[in-house]
Amino acid sequence: MFSPTSKTINLSMESQLKIKWNLNGIFWIFLSVFFYAGFFVQAQDRVNTDKIGRKWLDVSYADQSPAQKLDVYLPDEGDGPFPVILSIHGGAFKFGDKGDNQVAPMLEGLKRGYAVVSINYRLSGEALFPAQIYDVKTAVRWIRSNSRHYKFDPERIAAWGGSAGGHLASMLGTSGNVKELEDLNQGNGNQSSRVIAVVDWFGPTDFLKMDEQLMESGVKNPQVHSIPDSPESELIGKNLTDAPDLVKFVNPETYISKDDPPFLIQHGLIDHLVPYQQSVNLSKKLESVLGKEKVTLELFPETDHGGPAFTSEQNINKVFEFLDSYLKR
C-alpha cells in the first residue's frame, strides 16, 4: 500500500545532498548575478567627454561585428606623434562599453601628452573566446595602420584594463606572435599587435583556481566561478571544470615569454569577484621570466573589486609614472 509519509522521507534521505547542492548553487548564482550586475550598473555611467576637443567616436576597426568599434581621443594641443593608451573595458566579458566611466582614469593621459584609444570587443553573448583577444589585437593593428592620420606613435602603445579588461590587457602582453590568438584576416595583417607596457587592474588569469583562492582569502560573499553560468564558463562555452584545456588556453600565464613587455599589476586584497592571488601568481610567473625590474605588483588592503584605491590621484600618478618610464623615454 502506498504511504505518502514514508515515500517522502525516503526521497528526502536519498536526495538530501543533491538538494542541498542545488539550493546552494541557486543561491550563489543569484549572488553572482547580483554583484556583477551591480558592478555593471556602476560602470555603465557614460564618461563626460564634452570638453575634449579632438575626438573621433564609434570608428570601426573591423567589419565582422557592430561591436568592433573604438573611440579616439587626442590631447588638445600638439602635433604628436603621441604615445597611445589602449583602454580595454571590463564587465565580466559580457557587459561594459568603451564610453563608460571605466575609461576615465585613462583619459587623464590626455593632460600628459597621451592619445587614448578606447575599444569595444565582441562580448561572450555574441562570440566565445578567442574572439575577444582577436578583436583587441585587431584594434592594435588598426592603431598602427592609422598612426599617421591620427598622430599616433606606432612604436609606443600600452594596454590598460580592469577586470575582464585586465585579463585581455595581460593576454595582449603575453601572447605576442601566438598565431592561435590572432586573426589577421580581420584587417591590417601586415602590422604588429604587440604593446610595450601593460597595466592590469584586478584581472583574472587561471579560472580554475579562483573558487579555491577566494575561499582561502576569506572574503565575504565570494563569487563562484566553477558553475555553468559563471562569466568565465560563458566565455569559453563550457563549465570550467569540464574544460581544463580551454581554461589553459584562455590563461595569459600560458604564453609568458622573454619578449613580453613590463607589467604593472594592482589588486585589492578583499576582492570578492577575482581573488588577489590571481595577480600574485601572474606576477611571480612574469618575474621568473622577465626579471623583477620589469614587473610591479601592488596589493591594496581593505580594497574590493575596484574603487578609490585605484582611481585616486595618487595612484593615477603612480600608473603614469610607470607608463612614462617606458613610453616617454
What is the tens place of the pLDDT at every residue in 116-159? 999 999 999 999 999 999 999 999 999 999 999 999 999 999 99
Q: What is the pLDDT of residue 236?
A: 98
Query: For the chain, what is the domain count?
Result: 1
Least confident of 39-43, 84-88, 114-118: 39-43
Q: What mean pLDDT value characterizes the chain?
A: 90
pLDDT band at 204; cut points 50, 70, 90:
very high
Please report, for the domain that includes residue 25, its CATH number.
3.40.50.1820
How many CB atoms neighbour CB 141 within 10 A?
A: 22
What pTM value is reported for the model?
Answer: 0.88
pLDDT band at 37; cut points 50, 70, 90:
very low
In whole angstroms, give the CA distance from residue 262 to residue 171: 13
Task: With beta carbons less than 8 A apart as the criterion, state whether 208 and 226 touch.
Answer: yes
Instruction: Please determine, for residue 314, whether its predicted confidence score (pLDDT) is greater than 80.
Output: yes
The predicted-structure confidence for 229-246, as pLDDT tens digits, reads as follows: 999 999 999 999 999 999
Place of cell 561591436: 67
The predicted-structure confidence for 260-301, as pLDDT tens digits, reads as follows: 999 999 999 999 999 999 999 999 999 999 999 999 999 999
Q: What is the pLDDT of residue 45?
A: 87
How many CB atoms neighbour CB 114 within 10 A?
A: 26
Look at residues 87, 84, 142 and name the one whose alpha carbon lies nearest to residue 115. Answer: 84
Instruction: Please determine, for residue 173, whether its predicted confidence score (pLDDT) is greater than 80.
Output: yes
Q: What is the pLDDT of residue 44?
A: 60
pLDDT band at 7; cut points 50, 70, 90:
very low
Cell of 327: 613610453
Give the pLDDT mean for 206-233: 96
Q: What is the pLDDT of residue 101?
A: 96
Range of the domain at 189: 4-327
Look at residues 168, 178, 173 and name the one whose alpha carbon lies nearest to residue 135. Answer: 168
Look at residues 163, 251, 243 and name the one whose alpha carbon lies nearest to residue 200. Answer: 163
Least confident of 11-25, 99-113, 219-233, 312-326: 11-25
Look at residues 36, 57, 19 and name the one whose alpha carbon lies nearest to residue 224. Answer: 36
In whole angstroms, give the CA distance from residue 99 to residue 91: 13
